Copies of this chain bind each other. A is one copy, B any other.
């Protein structure tokens, strides 16, 4: 449906939009969104990290992270604990509720579904190409 002919940028943005919608239709029954699920799994693999560390791991800014974390905390899935050695920081942990919920496998599942019908070597090429484009975009930003 989108404006043709596609440029690469167009198809990227289009795909991201469809992707997000697909993912969210999968996890919404758990009260999650794509971004929150991503944060949740990242916390699970890095328990005790500070908010700044989590934001860096996710590649987002700290105000964005704060909003996502507030939502997870309101759902009772995570908690902030004080850090005695630095009273500015919070150490972020999963609660028991988060461990019980079958939430952590979703992302891998989506990745598998997404790669369906694509040759492994094509996936490798795509991965490499996307990485190069990210570099080009970074350069474009400065230059």
Question: Which residues of the other chain, B, contact A88 by a CB distance below 8 angstroms?
Answer: none
A132 touches B118 (CB 8 A): yes
Knowing A3-B42, A114-B9, the reply to whether A123 touches B129 (Cβ < 8 A) is yes
Tell me the complex Cα distance, A14–B135, Å: 11
B59 touches A14 (CB 8 A): yes
B133 touches A114 (CB 8 A): yes
Q: How many residues of A contact B (CB 8 A)?
A: 56
Does A31 make an interface contact (CB < 8 A)?
Answer: no
B127 touches A114 (CB 8 A): no
What are 9 pairs between A and B in contact, CB < 8 Å?
A1-B59, A3-B58, A7-B107, A13-B19, A14-B59, A18-B134, A19-B133, A22-B138, A122-B128
